Structure formats: C-alpha cells, structure tokens
Amino acid sequence: METVAYRSVSDLSKSILKNIYKIPKNIDLVVGIPRSGMLPANLISLYLNKPYTDINSFLEGKIYDCGDRGKYIKKTEIKNVLVVDDSIAHGYAINRAKEQLKNEHFNFIYFVVYARTKSKDKVNTYCEILDGERIFEWNLFHHKNILERSCLDIDGVLCRDPLPEENDDGELYHKFLISAEPKFIPSVKIKTLITCRLEKYRTETEFWLKKHGIEYEKLIMLNLHTAAERKLWGKYGEYKGNEFKKNDYIFFIESSLSEAKKIKEISGKTVFCIETMSII
C-alpha cells in the first residue's frame, strides 16, 4: 500500500535546528527560493541572526538587515550566500535559481531541508532524506500529485462547519450551504469530495464549489432523507472510510479527529486531520 510522508511546520523547524551545524557559520546572507523556500530561509535567518531576502530582491539589491526593521544592507557587504528551498525532488527550482544567480559574483551555498536520494547531490547540504510521496503542511492544498488521488471532506475543510442553529435542515441551513465562508481553497483538482451532507443538497453544494473555483472529479453525498435520520444513523467515519478503502486513493483530508481515526482504522491509509493539523 502506498503511503505518504507528512511534515508539519513544526517538523520543518525541528529538522533545521537539529541540522543547523551543517550550515557554514561564515554566511553573510540567507536567500529564499520563492515561495516554499521563503519559510525555511526566514527561520534560518532568525535562528542565526543573519540578513534575509528572496532571490528577486537580492538581484535588485534589496536585502533586509537583521535587527533593525526597515534597514537594508549593501551587496558589497556580502560574500557568502546561503540559498534555501524547503525540498528538492527533480531539482527544477534549484536549477532555475542557479540560472538566475549565475552572473552574481558571490559564494553561493545551496541548501534544502528535505532531499531525495536521487537529487541530493544537486545541493551542497540538506537536513534529511525524504524519498517517496511526501506532502508538507505549508502546501497541503496545492500538491497536484497528491490531491488528484485524494478524498476531501467539505465542512471544516473547504468551508467552516455550520453552527448548531444553522443545522436546522431548513432555511438557515440552505443559507449556510450557499454562503459559508471558505477555509482552505485548493489550487489544483481534487479526485473526490466525500461529505455527510444529504444528497438533496447537491445543487447548493455544487453552486458553492463552483463559486469558489474548486475543481473535483467526483462528489459523494449521503443518501438519507433528513438531518434527523442522518444523526440517528451516525456512521460518518465508517461511510467515509469504506469509500476511501475501496478505491485507489492515497490521502484523505478530514475535519473531525474522531472521524479521521475511524477512517484510518477502516482504510489503513494516510489520513490528515484538520482539527489537529496532523497525520492520524
């Protein structure tokens, strides 16, 4: 069974701190590769009290000094530059960064937090090897290769959960369905949305998804008649877990911790819980 390795922002920070000895102490500047590299680059710059910027700003000479807000330093004050990304897979981002910096006369050290065995030699140093499928908290809803093979819950994931008074199976619930505030909007197409919303609310659900530009292949809804009947039935995690288990999905994003545990128990596959922002 295919598994997915997950790393949180906390994991990222811990890995940097554990391996910070690998970063040369004579660096003068930390440069992040937009966008994912900006997060570890900023952390490293703060931990080491070094100036920090992104590649384009570096090329333009806009380099934030450490300590004083709004203060810049000159490129003439810099010799050794640490260029940072969160990870390396095939090396496209690192190669693009090298191309951008090829006419700059500095000592560049290329660093990533997570490397793959096949690409680790494309950087000077890294924190840890992470092969196979992986997903990071900071790009959870933008990972095409994962989400195109994933199931996602709707309430509590894509939008907020309804308030108790909104769950009236009537006018207030209808209003919620068409106007609920979004939480996380994926930037790539999802394989399957699976929800405990009732089938009779498909039109309102599809309207909301289209309104917010959410692309998906399939929408599975609960074929019961009323909210009272759904509450009496109560097998939410089992329902989602069995759908997740019987198809070639590799990842499930669920809002509820109790349901996430049940989905994991039934499917044996990788389940991410929004309630705890962690893998179950």
Architecture of domain 144-279: 3-Layer(aba) Sandwich (3.40)
Taking CA atoms, 41 is separated from 77, 160, 280, in Å, by 19, 32, 29
Cβ neighbours of residue 26 under 8 Å, at least 6 residues apart? 79, 80
| pLDDT of residue 1 exceeding 60 | no
Per-residue model confidence as pLDDT tens digits over 75-127? 888 999 999 999 999 999 999 999 999 999 999 999 999 999 999 999 999 99
Indicate the fold that domain 7-132 takes in CATH: Rossmann fold (3.40.50)
Segment 212-234, tens digit of pLDDT: 999 999 999 999 999 999 999 98
Write down the domain spans for the chain: 7-132, 144-279
* Distance separating alpha carbons of residues 18 and 278, to the nearest angstrom: 21
3-state secondary structure of 219: strand
DSSP 149: T
User: What average pLDDT does the chain have?
Assistant: 93
Beta strand 251-254 pairing with 270-273: parallel
What predicted TM-score, i.e. pTM, was given to this entire model? Answer: 0.84
Give the 3-state secondary structure of residue 221.
strand
DSSP state of 180: P
